Amino acid sequence: MKEFLNDLILDRDHKKYYEDFDTSKYGNSLEPGSMPADGLYEQWVNQYKPNLIIEVGSFLGYSAIKMAKEIKNQNLDTKIICVDTWLGSPEHYDMFKNENDNRLNYNNGYPTLYHKFISNVILNDVQDIIYPFPYPSATAFKILNKLFNKHNIKADFIFVDGSHEEIDVYLDLYYYYQLLSDKGVLWGDDWAWGMVKEGVNKFLDENDLKSKFNLLNNQVHWFIQK
């Protein structure tokens, strides 16, 4: 795992993602991107005790930080790779375009979600667990797939919560299911979004995985067990 993590980061030292970062400028803006699901993220860590987690779509870091704190509570050696462009989705555009927004969502024409994410990670003291991977999900997959094959590893747990467009959901599942270990589990949320549901069902149908699909009683979170 150590060799893989060294390969994963370009500067060979992931602490540099967080060094000399001015958290006073961005503060702690931790909030869920959708349904809070308090206790669920911690439950995942407790139930699966994964060696490696991939999160596709991290936004402000709510779910990743919740999982990271539980990892610390249990003294696990789990690492979390957070894949995101931190540019937001179409539904975030109105939020970003307000230059006077005191949450600093927009700076020199560029959304500042990534900086808010980094600030949240630092202020919650989980920077030793969370590895930001700022790429589009398809690009990130190609890099991770090459590294996974090189080091003969897989992820035990993958949480998909990126774009809500049908084709994007389908492609995220198509790509990242390939990185899942034989006994791994892939989770997602926002089942109430029609395009999310359509993207998931398309993937399930094409890969004969309907029997592996489960929907929680909250009608929001779902998972595919390998």
φ, ψ dihedrals at 172, nearest 5°: -60, -40
pLDDT value of position 12: 62
Q: What is the mean pLDDT of each run of 10 residues along the chain (226 residues)?
A: 81 77 90 72 94 96 96 97 91 65 67 92 96 96 96 97 95 98 96 96 97 94 95
- β-partners of residue 158 are 54, 186
Q: What string of DSSP letters covers 129-194? A: TEEEE-S-HHHHHHHHHHHHHHHT--EEEEEE-S--SHHHHHHHHHHHGGGEEEEEEEEE--TTSH
pLDDT value of position 95: 64
**Domains by residue range for the chain, with CATH:** 2-27+47-225 (3.40.50.150)
pTM, two decimals, is 0.93
